[in-house]
A and B are shown apart, each in its own frame.
Chain A
Amino acid sequence: MQEILKKYKTTKPEDVQVWFKAAHTSSFPKDGGACVKYKDLQIAVFNFDRLQKWYACQNLSPEKQEMVLSRGMIGDHNGIPKVACPLHKKTFSLENGENLNGDLEPIATYPVKIEDDFVYIGFSE
C-alpha cells in the first residue's frame, strides 16, 4: 500500500482525542463538500443537508491516490449516504468508508460535530 494511504485511519467517536475546529458551517455548500487541512492531512467534509448530518473522510481517493473526494458529488445508494469520486465515479459510504461499486480499500472516516455554527472534526491524535 502507498505510504500516503496509511496516514488516514478511521477514527471512532470514542477514540477522539482532539476536536479540531475546522471552519464555519457556511463554508460548506448544502449537500456538498469542501476540504479541510489538519496538520499534514486533507479531510473532506460534507454537509449532508437533506439528512441534517455532517460527514468527514479522507480527501484522498484510494484508487489513484489523488486529493479529490471533497470535490465529489454526494447522494445515497439504497439509503446509504455516499460520495462519488469526481475522477472515475467510484462511490464510498460516508458512514463506514466502504467502496460501494467496486472492491477498493475502504476510505477512512472521521466523526464531525457542530457547535455554535462551527464544524469540528475528531481525531485520535
Chain B
Amino acid sequence: MTKPLLTESTTPYAPDPHQDIFSKTTLGFWMYLMTDCILFASLFLVYAVLKNSTFGGPGSQDLFSLDLAFAETLILLCSSVTCGLAVLSAVQNKKKHVVLWLLATLLLGGTFLTLELQEFAHFIKEGNSWERSAFLSAFFALVSTHGLHITFGLLWGIIMIAQIMHFGIVTMTFRRLTIFSMFWHFLDLIWIFIFTYVYLIGVL
C-alpha cells in the first residue's frame, strides 16, 4: 500500500494560478519586452562608446534641440497615460471611451513620430546623416529603433480600434488591448532614457 505523494489536502501550496491563456499571453509578451530591453541596452551601449567619435563632424552639443526633445517627452508621456485610460475604460466595459482614448493615444503617438522624423530630415538636409560619423550612426540606430517601435505601435493601435469597434469588448480584444498597453508604456519607459542620455546629457 503506497500513499499518494501529493494530494489536494496535504499540499502546502496552492497550484500555480497562471495556467490560463490570459496569464500565459501576458507573461509571454512581458518576456518579449524584456528581451527588447536588452536590445535597447546594447544600442545605448554602442551610443555611449561612440559618442565622441565625431570624425570632425558636429558633436551632440551642436546638433540637439532640448526644447524639441522635451516636447516629444511630454507628448509620449501623455499618450502613455491615455493608453492606460483606454484599458481602464475596457475594464469598466465602456466601449466608446476605449475607442476615444485609443484615438487620443494614436494622435499623440503620431505627433511624436512626426516631430522625430522632422528632426531626422533636418539633420540629413544639413549633411549630418548616419554616414557622417560613428557618433551619428549610433544616434540614428538608437533613436530610429525606438521610432520604428512607435510606428508598429501606431499600426497595432489602428488595428486595435478596428477590432474593438467590430467585436466589442470581449476576452480576445481585452487580452490584445492589455498587451498593447504594456508595449506602449514600455516605449515611453525607453524614451525616458533616450531623453536623458542622448538629449539632456548630450547638450551638457
* A, B bound: no
